[in-house]
Chains A and B, each alone.
Chain A
């Protein structure tokens, strides 16, 4: 098998012999996607970050000016923004953690030889395929104070006369978080299920023969194999949740009294209702800060995990 090993070796190393005319071909293949990416994604991103340092507004006649860190100083003193940021963090953690735990439980169940597994798999996919707007609408129907099934069920069970879930000051954020968990479970479950199917079965059986209980088997065999996938999907979920918009826009539009005004909703209003492009871009930059922090922690965790092995 000399040729194939030689191939593998050369695949991992730069191939000087392939330079020249072949590279032309490669660029020809890359450019159709690279140009739109550079022009419509990388450049706007740089432009967007640049806007955060200007007083850009909609419908202005005078030229936009550089104002340095003024937007950020205003942000630091904007109590509404801090409140929104706090809500965003509560939402992101409040959704990501239960999402992970519930998805892990479901993935472990689906990995078992149970009847109705096919049904659960099919159902677990539905939230993934639905437009977020429809998910929001659906849950509004459930939370509906009079005609909603949640209050009706509570009345049937004699657990009180029901609430105005989405408009109550205390209940709005928790109610919205439940929807976030529901909507994000499928991706997480699928990723964890795939991770589970990569765990070494022989180890599992050996541990069982040695008399290890279910919890011990999970901790010593399943979890170490699942950890990388679990960390990756949790970090991604956190970022997606922190950046989410449509669900809460449909459910509450940020109300009541700003109790569910996530940073994305706040920035959207600043930019496209009040036309404060520069200020909204500065908010976007602040959000990037949080996300960068999460990625840094995740990366540090990965490096430490690598040392342990």
Chain B
């Protein structure tokens, strides 16, 4: 890809630097893997090793025994899927209008998208906490979903606006000239072209909600209603003394869904972010 050839020592230095980056990025993850498969004896050993001598799956079993991981995973799944679907359903029409009709309103909305990224969460969560309390939606997954939807909307709008702009207006005008109505044009011309972008946006909203911690920590109090990230912190215990094996095993399991989804959308996500950024 890069046209310029660097030769000899320059190349070597570049590979050395790349190796350094690879180590820095990979080591924490590899250590998590290693810890998750170690039996207790090796975990308390004073000279820990990279590769477990006697790899075991006991940590995973124990993790499920110690904390309600299945319930938590289910809560996380319900919250993340609902938030993603709702956010995209609500945001797509608005993103379409904002992208197609530049004007004062559109600029105000884009400004709000940026401002909403900059506000400290405390300033949002205290009022939301009080409002949800009045609505009796505190300590409930539906209440959390409401918060996640509102929290995902700015980014969803941002990404979707980029995708809408990538659909040429000329196509819609051509369909209109051929006699298709507004709705017909939207459904049969715009929607299919927009579909991949909508899916990418939904998956991104899914990952954000699946990984989210602060709102869930504040809003969910009963153990059986909590999401995975909150339940994971229970492994740490009061004094920070942790049962390392099950902790690592549970952390690993909690990461897999978002890693998988991320692998699916990585390319689209970065391009979507950029079209959104470059055009405005």
Interface pair A134/B214, CB less than 8 Å apart: no
The CA-CA distance from A4 to B177 in the complex, in Å, is: 14
How far is the CB of A274 from the nearest CB of chain B, in Å? 13
- CB nearest neighbor in A for B104: A14
A297 at the interface (CB under 8 A from B): no
The CA-CA distance from A181 to B4 in the complex, in Å, is: 30
Chain A contact residues, majority secondary structure: helix
Known A-B contacts A32-B89, A44-B127, A47-B127; the reply to A114 vs B18 at CB < 8 A is yes
Interface pair A287/B120, CB less than 8 Å apart: yes
The CA-CA distance from A111 to B147 in the complex, in Å, is: 39
- CB nearest neighbor in A for B25: A123
B9 at the interface (CB under 8 A from A): no
How far is the CB of A234 from the nearest CB of chain B, in Å? 14
Interface pair A131/B27, CB less than 8 Å apart: no
Interface pair B229/A133, CB less than 8 Å apart: yes
The CA-CA distance from A240 to B120 in the complex, in Å, is: 9
Chain B residues near A249: list those with CB within 8 A. Answer: 213, 217, 233
Q: Which of B1-58 contact A (CB under 8 A)?
A: 1-4, 6, 10, 14-15, 17-18, 21-22, 24-29, 31-32, 35, 43-48, 50
The CA-CA distance from A22 to B119 in the complex, in Å, is: 35
Known A-B contacts A29-B96, A194-B270; the reply to A113 vs B1 at CB < 8 A is yes
Known A-B contacts A40-B128, A137-B248, A280-B126; the reply to A129 vs B258 at CB < 8 A is yes
Please encode chain A, from 105 to 123, with 1 for each CB lying within 8 Å of some chain B CB and 0 for all others: 1100101111111011001
Number of interface residues of B (CB under 8 A): 98
Contact of B2 among A112, A120, A250 (CB under 8 A): A112
Q: Which of B143-159 contact A (CB under 8 A)?
A: 146-147, 149-150, 153, 157
Number of interface residues of A (CB under 8 A): 102
Interface pair B24/A182, CB less than 8 Å apart: yes
Interface pair A132/B121, CB less than 8 Å apart: no
Chain B residues near A239: list those with CB within 8 A. Answer: 117-118
Chain B interface: which of A66-74, A77-85, A145-153?
A145-153
- CB nearest neighbor in B for A42: B112
Known A-B contacts A113-B2, A133-B213; the reply to A280 vs B146 at CB < 8 A is no
Interface pair A48/B242, CB less than 8 Å apart: no
B184 at the interface (CB under 8 A from A): no
- CB nearest neighbor in A for B207: A129
Interface pair B118/A291, CB less than 8 Å apart: yes
Interface pair B130/A123, CB less than 8 Å apart: no
The CA-CA distance from A137 to B249 in the complex, in Å, is: 11
Known A-B contacts A128-B262, A250-B233; the reply to A271 vs B4 at CB < 8 A is no
Interface pair A34/B14, CB less than 8 Å apart: no
Chain A residues near B61: list those with CB within 8 A. Answer: none
Chain B contact residues, majority secondary structure: helix
How far is the CB of B73 from the nearest CB of chain A, in Å? 12
A174 at the interface (CB under 8 A from B): no
Interface pair B32/A146, CB less than 8 Å apart: no
Interface pair A111/B50, CB less than 8 Å apart: no
Interface pair A201/B3, CB less than 8 Å apart: yes
Known A-B contacts A194-B274, A239-B117; the reply to A271 vs B126 at CB < 8 A is yes
Contact of A131 among B14, B35, B94, B211 (CB under 8 A): B211
A283 at the interface (CB under 8 A from B): yes
Chain B interface residues (CB < 8 Å from chain A): 1-4, 6, 10, 14-15, 17-18, 21-22, 24-29, 31-32, 35, 43-48, 50, 89-91, 93-94, 96-98, 101-103, 112, 116-131, 146-147, 149-150, 153, 157, 169-170, 173, 182, 207, 210-214, 217-218, 228-229, 232-233, 235-236, 240, 242, 244, 247-248, 251, 254-255, 258-259, 261-263, 266, 270, 273-274, 277
Given contacts A37-B112, A40-B150, A120-B22, 15 further A-B contacts (CB under 8 A): A11-B102, A11-B169, A29-B96, A32-B89, A43-B127, A44-B131, A106-B21, A129-B255, A132-B213, A137-B236, A140-B242, A239-B118, A249-B217, A277-B130, A284-B123
Chain A interface residues (CB < 8 Å from chain B): 4, 7, 11-12, 14, 22, 25-26, 28-30, 32-34, 36-37, 40-45, 47-49, 51, 102, 105-106, 109, 111-117, 119-120, 123-135, 137-142, 144, 146-149, 152, 155, 182, 185, 190-191, 194, 201, 204-205, 208, 214, 232, 236, 239-240, 242-243, 245-246, 249-250, 253, 263-264, 267-268, 271-272, 277, 280-281, 283-285, 287-288, 291, 295
Enumerate the 5 nearest inter-chain pairs by beta-carbon distance, A residue then B residue, closest first: A284-B123, A129-B262, A29-B93, A131-B211, A44-B127
